[in-house]
C-alpha cells in the first residue's frame, strides 16, 4: 500500500505541506482513509505529535453545522523531505517467523466472520481464515455510531479482550488490505501513548493468496 519515498515527497510537496507543519487529516469515509493517511505520514518521518485525524470525519463536522467553505486554498509548492521508518511495517516473512518466535502480537481488524473463515473473502483469489495465533478486533468496535472513536475507557476494555497489558508496544495490526488496520493502530495509540503504529502492510490480501 505504501508509495515510493520519492513519490511521497512529490505528493506532499504539491500539497504545500512543510516538515514542521501540524496536520489535521479528514475524509468522507468514516475516518478509515484518514487513519491510513495518518499512518503514512508517521511512516515517512513526520513528527507523530503533529499528525492528527478529525474525529468522525467530514460527515460528523457537517452534521454538527460547523464551518465549511467552497473557497479553493492557494497552495505554494513546498520542498518536503521524508525518511522511512521501516520498523513500522512488517512483511510476510516476518509474520511467518513470528508464528514460532512470538515476538509480537498480530491483531486483525476484519470482521469476526471473515477472521474465523465463516464467510468468503470479498477479493477473488483469497482463501478464508486468518493468520495463525493472531487475534481479532473488528475496527468498527472502536467507533461510535457517528464514526468518532469511543472513549479511552471503552477502548481499553476492547483491547483488553486480546491484551493482558495495554502498555504493550509489540503489537502489529493487520486487516484485508492495510487500511482498516490503521484504524486499530490509531485507536490503540489513544490509550497507549508509547505505541508507534506498526502495520502488516500486505495484510490478508497478501497472506491469504491461494497458491
Model pLDDT for residues 93-132, shown as the tens digit of each residue: 999 999 999 999 999 999 999 999 999 999 999 999 999 9
Give the chain's domain count: 2
Residues above pLDDT 90, as percent of the chain:
94
Asked if residue 191 and residue 149 are part of one domain, the reply reads yes
Q: Are 185 and 35 in contact (CB under 8 A)?
A: yes
C-alpha cell at 101: 518466535
State the catalytic residues.
175
Q: Are 159 and 105 in contact (CB under 8 A)?
A: no
pLDDT at 52: 97
C-alpha cell at 172: 502489529
Domain that holds residue 13: 5-63
Domain closes at, from 48, 63, 78: 63
- The answer to whether position 148 is within a domain reads yes
- The answer to whether position 52 is within a domain reads yes
CATH code for the domain of 196: 3.40.250.10
Asked if residue 203 and residue 128 are part of one domain, the reply reads yes
- The answer to whether position 112 is within a domain reads yes
C-alpha cell at 211: 497458491
Asked if residue 178 and residue 101 are part of one domain, the reply reads yes
Element (H, E) at 59: helix 57-63
- The answer to whether position 72 is within a domain reads no
Asked if residue 192 and residue 111 are part of one domain, the reply reads yes
User: Does pTM top 0.85 for this prediction?
Assistant: yes
pLDDT at 1: 84
Judged against a pLDDT cut of 90, whether residue 141 lies above it is answered with: yes
pLDDT at 85: 98
Asked if residue 190 and residue 135 are part of one domain, the reply reads yes
Asked if residue 164 and residue 98 are part of one domain, the reply reads yes
Q: What is the mean pLDDT of residues 146-170?
A: 94
Asked if residue 95 and residue 30 are part of one domain, the reply reads no
Asked if residue 198 and residue 144 are part of one domain, the reply reads yes
Domain closes at, from 17, 48, 63: 63
Query: Each residue of 17-50: pLDDT tens digit?
Result: 999 999 999 998 778 999 999 999 999 999 999 9
Element (H, E) at 156: helix 152-159
Judge residue 184's burial from the number of C-beta atoms within 10 Å of its C-beta, 0-12 exposed, 13-18 middle, 19 or more buried: buried
Amino acid at each position: 500500500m505504501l508509495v515510493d519515498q520519492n513519490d511521497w515527497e512529490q505528493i506532499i510537496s504539491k500539497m504545500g505541506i512543510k516538515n514542521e507543519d501540524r496536520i489535521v487529516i479528514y475524509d468522507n469515509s468514516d475516518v478509515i482513509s484518514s487513519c491510513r493517511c495518518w499512518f503514512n505520514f508517521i511512516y515517512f518521518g513526520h513528527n507523530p505529535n503533529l499528525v492528527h485525524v478529525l474525529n468522525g470525519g467530514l460527515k460528523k463536522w457537517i452534521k454538527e453545522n460547523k464551518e465549511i467553505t467552497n473557497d479553493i486554498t492557494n497552495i505554494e509548492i513546498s520542498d518536503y523531505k521524508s525518511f522511512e521508518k521501516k520498523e513500522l511495517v512488517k512483511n510476510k516473512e516476518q509474520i511467518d517467523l513470528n508464528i514460532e518466535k512470538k515476538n509480537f502480537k498480530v491483531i486483525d481488524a476484519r470482521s469476526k466472520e471473515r477472521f474465523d473463515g465463516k464467510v468468503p473473502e470479498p477479493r477473488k483469489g483469497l482463501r478464508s481464515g486468518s493468520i495463525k495465533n493472531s487475534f481479532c478486533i473488528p475496527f468498527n468496535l472502536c467507533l461510535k455510531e457517528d464514526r468518532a472513536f469511543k472513549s479511552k475507557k471503552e477502548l481499553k476494555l476492547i483491547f483488553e479482550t486480546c491484551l493482558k497489558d495495554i502498555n504493550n508496544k509489540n503489537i502489529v495490526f493487520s486487516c484485508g488490505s492495510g487500511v482498516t488496520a490503521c484504524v486499530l493502530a490509531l485507536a490503540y495509540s489513544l490509550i497507549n501513548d508509547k505505541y508507534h503504529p506498526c502495520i502488516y502492510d500486505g495484510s490478508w490480501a497478501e497472506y491469504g493468496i491461494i497458491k
